[in-house]
Amino acid sequence: MENVVLIIHLILALSLIAVVLLQRSEGGGLGMGGGGGGGAMTGRAAATALGKLTWLLAIAFICTSMTLTIFAAENASGSSVIDRLGVTPPAADVDTPDVPEGDLLLPPGPDDNAPLVPTLD
C-alpha cells in the first residue's frame, strides 16, 4: 500500500510541476513577467482551468504527503535504525581504566596536601 501511495505521490509531484510551468505569468512576482490586463489591480483574476487543476493537484499532493508520513511513523514505532539492522552492540567486557574517586575537574580542596594558592618559593 505504501508503494502505491508513493508512486501516486511522485506522479502528482511531476504533474504539479508541469501544470505550474504551463500557466501564464501574472506579472506580480518580483515585478517581472508580461501579462497585462490588470490581474494584480482588479482584486482577483478569473479562475482558469489550469488554476483549478493546480489547486486540485496541490491538495492531492498534500494528502499523499500526510499519508506517507503516517506510514513512516507506523513503521518507526520506537525502534532505532541499528535495531532494524540487527547489529549487536560490542560486549561490555572491555577493560576500563581505573578512575580515581572524586571529581578531577575540581581544584584541590583544603583537605588535600596541595596548597590552594601557588607560592613562589
Distance set, CA 100 to CA 97, 103, 104, 106, 109 (Å): 10, 8, 8, 13, 15
* pLDDT value for 29: 55
Q: In this structure, are residues 12 and 60 in contact, taking their beta carbons and an 8 Å threshold? A: yes
* pLDDT value for 48: 85
Region of 102 (left: φ > 0; alpha: ψ -120 to 50; beta: rest) is left
List the domain boundaries for the chain.
1-23+47-75
**CA 59, 16, 69: angle at the middle one, nearest 5?**
50
* pLDDT value for 79: 66
Q: What is the full per-residue pLDDT of the chain (121 aa) written as tens digits? A: 899 999 999 999 999 999 999 988 766 555 555 555 554 555 555 678 888 999 999 999 999 999 999 998 887 766 666 766 766 666 655 565 665 666 566 665 666 565 556 666 5
- The set of cell numbers assigned to 1 is 500500500
Q: In this structure, are residues 13 and 61 in contact, taking their beta carbons and an 8 Å threshold? A: yes
* pLDDT value for 62: 97
